[in-house]
Structure 1
Amino acid sequence: MPAPTVNVSVTPRGSMEILSQREVRNLSEVGSGSTYQLFRQCALAILNTGARVDDARSILEAYADFEVEIRQLDRGVRLDLRNAPADAFVDGHMISSVREMLFSALRDIVYTESELHNNRADLSTSSGITDYVFHLLRNARTLTPGVEPKMVVCWGGHSINEEEYKYSKRVGHELGLRNLNICTGCGPGVMKGPMKGATIAHAKQRVLDARYLGLTEPGIIAAEAPNPIVNELVILPDIEKRLEAFIRVGHGIIIFPGGAGTAEEFLYLLGILLHPDNAELPFPLILTGPRSSANYIQQLHEFVGATLGEQAQTRYEIIIEDPVRVARRMKQGLAEVEHFRRERNDAFHFNWLLRVEQDFQLPFDPTHENMAALELRRDTPPHLLAANLRRAFSGIVAGNVKEHGIRLIEEYGPYELRGDAQIMQPLGALLQAFVDQQRMKIPNGEAYRPCYRVVS
C-alpha cells in the first residue's frame, strides 16, 4: 500500500524569506542538480519527522515521486511540495516544527552552496575551517553572545533499548531543572530523550527561552529524521564540521549508551582533548547510563585504556544510574568553563581556544581503499590514533545507515580494517560487543550483517 501523500505550498516563518535569483535557479530545477537533490533529500527526511525508519534509501524509495520546487515571489519565497508525506500535516496545515526545520534546511544548504561557490570559505587551513564552521552557525543564528555557559551536548545511540531511553530522559529532566539547554544530533533515541526530559523540567521552572539545538549533516538526516522537540536545527555540510560545531558551541558533553556512531563521537572528542595544547582546557565529559548498561560503559572505558592509554581515561568521568549526580557534576563543570573563559577573555558562545587539527577536520571518504589504509598502530601518538579510530567508526556508520556506504558494501563487500594486534583485538572485541548487544542492528526486522572485517 503506497504511503499517503499531499500536494501543498508553504512559506517560511521567521527566516529565509528572500533568495537571490541565482539561488532560486540552483534549487528550482526539479530533478536536476546536486544542490536540488541534496535539499530534496533533507526536506523529505524532515517531512518524515517521527517515522521509525533508519535507512535513507527506504525513505527515498517510499516517496520516489516526492518533488519540491522553490519559487521566488515578489513577497518572498514559497515551496511547492508534491507527493509530500501526509503525516507532516494536520487538517491540511503543516506542523509548525516541521515547517521551521524545513526552512532551516533551505537556509543552511543555500548558505553553504553560496559560500563555496563564491570562494568565501578557506578550507585549506585549520583556522579557515573553524572560521567556516563559525560562519555557518552564525548564519543560523545559533550563536548567542553574552549568555553564560549552559549548553550541554548529549551523545548516544539512536536505536537504544527502552530502559536506556528512559534514563536519558531522567538525566535531561535533571539538566532542565538546573536551567541548562540541550544540544543533540536531533534524531531519535538519546538524541530525543534528554530533550524530552528537559522540556518538562523547563516547564516546571517556567523557562520560556529554552533551547533544543539539533546539529546534523545531510548523510545523517536522511537516515535519522529530526525529532519534533528540536527548536533550532542546523545542517552542517559534512560529519567533520558537524562534530566541530558540537564542541565549539557545547560547554560540556554527556555520552549515553550507543553504537558505532557514539564511539565515533567519543573518540573524536578524546583525540582533541589529548592534544598537548588542550591539556589545561576544562571540558566536562561524562559517560553515563542505567545500571543495565554498566557493562557497555566498562567495555568502552577498557577499549580507551587499551588503545589510547590511561591519560585518555582521565579526561572523562563515569557515573552509573545517578541522573542527579550527572546534572550536578555537569553544572559544576560548566562553572569551571565559565571561570576559565572569563580569565582568558574568551567567548562563551564559541570555544575559540580549543585546538582542533586538520586530522579531525578534513572530510573522510569511507571507501574500501581508505578504510584499509587507516594507520591503526600502537606507536602512533594517542591524539592521532584517536583520529584514525574515529575514521574507522565513521566508515562503519556509513556502511550501516548511509545510502552511499550501503551501496559500496553491496558492491564490494565488507570494509577491511588492518593494524597492530594490540589495537585490532580490542577494536574487534568492542565491535562484537556492539553486535551482541544489538547496538548496530538496523530496526527493519533483519539480523545485523557486519559491514566490516577486522584483520590484525
Structure 2
Amino acid sequence: MQHIETEEVVIRPQGSLQILSYQEARQLCDVSERGLNDLLRQCTLAVLNTGANEDNGLDLLNKYARFEIKVNVKGRGVQVTIVNAPHHAFVDGELIVGLREHVFAVIRDLLYARNDVLHSGQFDVESSHGITNAIFHIARNAQLMIPNTIPDIVVCWGGHSIPNEEYKYSKQIGYELGLRDLNICTGCGPGVMKGPMKGAVLAQGKQRNHSGRFIGLSEPGIIAAEAPNAFVTELCIMPDIEKRLEAFVRLGHGIVIFPGGPGTMEELLYLLSILLHPNNKDVALPLILTGNHNSQAYFDQIIHFIELTLGEDATQLLEVIIDHPRLVAQKMHTAMSEVRRDRRDSSDAYYFNWRLHIELDLQKPFVPTHDNMAKLNLYKNQPAHELASQLRKAFSGIVAGNVKADGIRQINAKGPFELHGDPAIMRAMDDLLQTFVDQKRMKLDASTYNPCYKINCGDH
C-alpha cells in the first residue's frame, strides 16, 4: 500500500529537554555504533507510525528508508527536525500532541539510560542489585513513581495480534478496573496492550477520576512491533527486554494476563520464574489469567504446558477466570489491600517493589543468536524456577525472530533458530507454538507466517 511522507517538520521540546547540551545533541545525531541516532531513529519512527497495522521492525525501517531525525542546540533551546515521517502522525501539518510527547520521552530515556546509568560507572549492571537500581533510576527519571499513593497499578499482558472479540473483552476488563479507580500499565502497543487502557479511560471518566494513569513500558528492540497506542500518557523506554520485564513487576501491584502468542508466554514464564523462587514465597503479587468465552481451550493448553514443564507447584499459582470481567476486577481490587498490607508490614515502598527477589539470570540481557538459542538448557535437570528462566529465553528468541529487526535479519541470513531439549518438553513446546500459528497469534500479518524456529527432540 502506498504511503505518504511529511517532508520536514521542526518541533521544540519542553521542560528539561529544552536545555540539552551540545554533547547530548551530538550523541543523538551520531550515526556510528557509539552514537544514539540509530536507536533514536528506530524508536521515533515507531512512535510516529502509531495506529498502523504492522509489526515488523525491519519492514518499517525499509518502508520509511528516507526517514531522518536530527537534534540541534540553538540559542533559544533545542530543535528537533523530523524528515520524511509518516503522514498520519500529523494533523494539518502539526504533529499530534500525544505523539510529540512520546517522541520527547524517547529522547529523554535514550539519553538518560546511556549517559546517567549504563555508561556512568555509578551502577554495577553486572550485579543483581545494580541492575534493579538502574531500573529504579530510569523509572524515577521518567516520573513513573509517585509517593504517598496506595497500590493501584494493574499490569496487563497479552497478545498484540488478537481477534476482535478478545480485544473487546480486554476493554471490558479495563472498564471494570477503571470503575474501581485502578490504573493500567501495559507494553503500550495494540491489542491487549490497548484494550484495557481504552476501557479504563471511559470508566475513570464516569467516576470523574481525572488522575488516571496509563503507563506504557517498551524497549528499543520491540517498539516497532508495539508502538505506543494513543491512550498511553506515561511512556518509558527501558534499555532492553529484561529491564522492561523487571520494571513491570517492580512498578505493578497486580498482573492480569490475556491470551497471546510467544511474547505473552515469555512474560508468563518470566513471572513464574520469580514466583517459584523460594525467596518470593511470601511476596504478595496477585496474578489472574483471563479471556472471553472462547479462551478456555487456550488456557487449558497453557496450563498443560506449564504443568508438564514446571510441575504442579507452578500451576497452583495460576488462577484462570473465563468471561467474567467484573469478577476479575473485584478480585484484583481486593488484592490491592493485601499488597498494601504486605508492603506496609515489610516496610517496602508502595511505588517500587524492592523486596521481590529476581535472579541475575533473569536480569542480564539474553541475545538471541543461533548459538545462544541452541545452547539453552531446556531439560528438567534443574529447579523449576531455573527451567522457567531458560524457557523464557527460548520464547524471547522467537519474539525476536518474528518482529525485531535484528532477529529478522538473523533468520534471513542463517535460517530458523534451532531449539534442543527434553523430548517431552520439546513436543509440548512444538504443540503450543503450532497452536499460536493456527490461531494467528504470532504476527499481525499471520497469513504469510514462516516459523523462525525449529524444534528438535532428542536425548540430553
TM-score (norm 2): 0.97
Shift of 1:2: 4.6
Contact 2:118 2:125 in 1 (8 A): no
Displacement, 1:346? 0.8
Q: How far apart, CA to CA, are the structure 2 residues paired with 1:429 and 1:444?
A: 21
Does the CA-based 8 Å contact 1:3-1:62 persist in structure 2? no
Return the offset for 1:73: 2.4
Q: Which residue of 1 aligns with 2:454?
A: 453
For residues 392-403 of structure 1, the aligned pairs below 5 Å read 392-403=394-405
- The alpha carbon displacement at 1:29 in A equals 4.2
1:433 positional shift: 1.2
Structure 2 counterpart SS, 1:172: helix
Partners in 2 of 1:51 and 1:14 — Cα distance? 29
Partner SS, residue 450 of structure 1: coil
**C-alpha distance after superposition, 1:302-341 (max 9, x if no partner):** 1111110111112221100000000001111111000111
One of 181, 184, 207 as aligned partner of 1:182 = 184
Q: CA deviation at 1:446?
A: 3.6
Q: Distance in 1 between matches of 2:332 and 2:158?
A: 17
Secondary structure (helix, strand or coil) at the match of 1:377 reads coil
Find the counterpart in structure 2 of residue 5 from structure 1.
Answer: 6
Question: Where in structure 2 are the equivalents of 1:35-114 lying within 5 Å?
Answer: 35-114=36-115
Equivalent residue, structure 1, for 2:307: 305
Contact between 1:15 and 1:103, CA under 8 Å: does it hold in 2? no
C-alpha displacement of 1:25: 1.4
Amino acid at match of 2:427: Q
Identify the residue that residue 296 of structure 2 maps to in structure 1.
Answer: 294
Q: Secondary structure at the match of 1:221?
A: coil
Q: 1:31 to 1:43 in 2, by over 3 A?
A: farther
Letter in structure 1 aligned against 2:360 = Q
* Alignment equivalent of 1:155, drawn from 129, 154, 157: 157
Contact 2:173/2:199 (<8 A) preserved:
yes
Match of 2:214 in 1: 212
- For residue 358 of structure 1, report the CA deviation from its aligned partner: 0.5
Question: In structure 2, do the counterparts of structure 1 residues 110 and 255 end up closer, same or farther at CA, with 3 Å as the change threshold?
Answer: same
Which one of the candidate residues 111, 127, 148 is aligned to 2:129?
A: 127
Per the alignment, residue 337 of structure 2 pairs with: 335
What is the rounded CA distance, in whole Å, between the counterparts of 1:29 and 1:255 in structure 2? 39
Partner Cα separation in structure 1 for residue 447 and residue 306 of structure 2: 31
The structural deviation recorded for 1:53 is 1.2
- In 2, Cα distance between the equivalents of 1:173 and 1:24? 42
Instruction: Give the equivalent residue in structure 1 for 2:376.
Output: 374
Of residues 255, 274, 277 in structure 2, which corresponds to 1:275?
Answer: 277
**Aligned partner of 1:88: which letter?**
A
**Per-residue CA distance 1:8-48 (angstroms, 9 max, x = gap):** 11012345222122111111346885411100111111111
- The 1:14–1:210 alpha-carbon spacing in structure 2 relative to 1, beyond 3 Å, is farther
Map of 2:353 onto structure 1: 351
- TM superposition shift of 1:262: 0.2
Provide the residue aligned with 1:385 in structure 2. Answer: 387
Structure 1's unaligned 5+ residue stretches are none
Deviates more, 1:404-413 or 1:443-452: 443-452
Distance 1:377 1:154 in 2: 30
Amino acid corresponding to residue 335 of structure 1 in structure 2: S
Matches within 5 A, 1:9-24: 9-24=10-25
TM-score normalized by structure 1?
0.97
> What is the Cα-based RMSD across aligned positions, in Å?
1.3
Alpha-carbon shift at residue 116 of structure 1 (Å): 2.4
Q: What does the per-residue CA deviation read over 1:180-218, in whole Å, with 9 as the maximum and x for residues that have no partner?
A: 000000000000000000000010001111100000000
Secondary structure of the equivalent of 1:416?
strand
Residue of structure 2 in register with 1:424 after alignment: 426
Change in CA separation of 1:214 and 1:4 when aligned onto 2, cut-off 3 Å: same
- Quick one: which amino acid aligns to residue 403 of structure 1? A
1:93-112 deviation per Cα after TM superposition (whole angstroms, max 9, x unaligned): 11110000000000000011
Distance between the aligned counterparts of 2:440 and 2:34, measured in 1?
38
**2:230 pairs with one of 228, 231, 235:** 228
- Which runs of no fewer than 5 residues in structure 2 stay unpaired? none
CA deviation profile, 1:154-185 (whole Å, cap 9, x unmatched):
00000100010000000000000000000000
CA distance in 2, matches of 1:78, 1:414: 43
Cα distance in 2 between the residues matched to 1:140 and 1:108: 7
